[in-house]
C-alpha cells in the first residue's frame, strides 16, 4: 500500500481510500484473485495513477486496460 500513498497524496480522504484499496487487493475473491475495482471520476482526477498503484500493490499483478 505504500506505493499508493506515494503516488496520490496524504489527505485524510485519500488515506481512507488507499487503506480500503489496500484491504481489497489483499483479499481474494471467490476465484482466487483480488476483486474487481471500478474507478470513476472526471478528467484529471488521477484515475490512471490510482489504477497503476492498485496494479503494483496487487499480489497477482493484474493487467489494467
64 has a pLDDT exceeding 80:
no
Q: 4 by DSSP, 3-state: which?
A: helix
13 has a pLDDT exceeding 80:
yes
pLDDT value of residue 40: 92
pLDDT value of residue 4: 62
Report DSSP letters for 18-59, one per residue: HHHHHHHHHS--TTSSPPP------TTSSHHHHHHHHHHHST
62 has a pLDDT exceeding 80:
no
The model's pLDDT over 15-58, given as tens digits with 9 standing for 90+, comes to 888 888 888 877 776 676 667 888 999 998 888 888 887 887 77
Amino acid at each position: 500500500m505504500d506505493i499508493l500513498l506515494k503516488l496520490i497524496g496524504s489527505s485524510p480522504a485519500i488515506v481512507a481510500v488507499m487503506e480500503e484499496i489496500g484491504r481489497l487487493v489483499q483479499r481474494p475473491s471467490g476465484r482466487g484473485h483480488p476483486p474487481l475495482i471500478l474507478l470513476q471520476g472526471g478528467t484529471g482526477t488521477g484515475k490512471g495513477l490510482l489504477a497503476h498503484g492498485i496494479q503494483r500493490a496487487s499480489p497477482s499483478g493484474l493487467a489494467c486496460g
